[in-house]
Structure 1
Amino acid sequence: MEKKLAEALQQLKASDIRITPQRQAVLEFLINSHAHPTADDIYKGLVDKFPGMSVATVYNNLRLFTKIGFVQEMAYGDASSRFDFSSQKHYHAICESCGKIVDTYYPGLDDVETAAEQLTGFKINEHRMELYGICPDCQ
């Protein structure tokens, strides 16, 4: 986890982005979370440590991290997006009962963009895949 944080902080510095304590805390929370938190989850997790921090600060940092490319915003039809620190391309399995999201790695899909380009003539920038089902806890 420390390596991921160091690499992310280095990327921020290289982009001339100031590293505030709040910004670093949001980043650390994301890196350490495997639950794909919402902005409110992050805010609630950090408000005791940073009582002056607002939900807007969390959202602004998430927007920045998403723009830079090391955080993925996942909007799955409910009212609030979830956020994922993504240092490696992966997909998500989502429980239709409890909403749990689990990362899924499948390197065989890496060439799907190339195949789509060849089939459609599109210049593909990215893709996303979601798998829906019932998790073991809800079965």
Structure 2
Amino acid sequence: MANQVVQEAVKKMKESDIRITPQRFAILEYLVVSKSHPTADEIYKHLEERFPNMSVATVYNNLRLFTDIGFVTEMAYGDSSSRFDFTSTKHYHAICEECGKVEDVFYPGLDDVESATEQLTGFIINDHRLELYGICPDCQKKLENN
């Protein structure tokens, strides 16, 4: 499944005349497979052994490219580094206030929120983002044991 998602993304990049370098492929693949919403530094650290000549700037530049073409969403939180999420479908995030873990939440019932907001406010809504904050099961167990 993940390999198929990567191949689809590569196909779209080729159709847009975007060169597929080994580093670019590896960054994209890591984003699809990791499910951890990594930071640019985490991606760099994961790939530095495989690509010793790759710089952190290369990772950031590719993440910007992926964000610009709509493959990746930058999740910027004021208190820490941005996390990056490969997005193939609209989804939301549950974020642990203890460890920072981010879990995807798929809830299609919220799709109507944009049109309802437009009707209620007169705004033209372009996008929306929902983040839910709490304590993940692992941190709940740690807190119970202390």
Q: Determine the C-alpha separation between the residues in 1 that align with 2:23 and 2:39.
A: 16
1:63 counterpart letter in structure 2: R
Once the 2 structures are TM-superposed, how far is the Cα of residue 31 of structure 1 from its aligned partner? Answer: 0.4
Once the 2 structures are TM-superposed, how far is the Cα of residue 103 of structure 1 from its aligned partner? Answer: 0.4
Once the 2 structures are TM-superposed, how far is the Cα of residue 79 of structure 1 from its aligned partner? Answer: 3.0
Q: Determine the C-alpha separation between the residues in 1 that align with 2:24 and 2:59.
A: 8
Q: Determine the C-alpha separation between the residues in 2 that align with 1:101 and 1:79.
A: 13
- Offset from partner CA, 1:33-83 (integer Å, 9 cap, x none): 111100000000001011110000000000000111110100122231000
Unaligned regions of 5+ residues in structure 2, if any?
A: 141-146
State yes or no: 1:53 paired with 2:71: no
Higher Cα radius of gyration: 2
Q: 1:78-97 residue pairs with structure 2 within 5 A?
A: 78-97=79-98
Q: 1:1-139 residue pairs with structure 2 within 5 A?
A: 1-139=2-140
Q: Determine the C-alpha separation between the residues in 2 that align with 1:81 and 1:104.
A: 19
2:8 counterpart letter in structure 1: E
Once the 2 structures are TM-superposed, how far is the Cα of residue 106 of structure 1 from its aligned partner? Answer: 0.5
- Report the number of matched residues: 139
After TM superposition, the score normalised by the length of structure 1 is 0.97
2:58 counterpart letter in structure 1: T
Helix, strand or coil for the counterpart of 2:38? coil
Unaligned regions of 5+ residues in structure 1, if any?
A: none
- The runs of at least 4 consecutive aligned structure 1 residues that moved more than 6 Å come to none
Q: Which has the higher helix share?
A: 2
Q: Determine the C-alpha separation between the residues in 2 that align with 1:15 and 1:89.
A: 22
Helix, strand or coil for the counterpart of 1:138? helix
Helix, strand or coil for the counterpart of 2:129? coil
- Offset from partner CA, 1:76-124 (integer Å, 9 cap, x none): 2223100011101100000011111000010100111111111111111
Q: Determine the C-alpha separation between the residues in 2 that align with 1:135 and 1:36.
A: 15
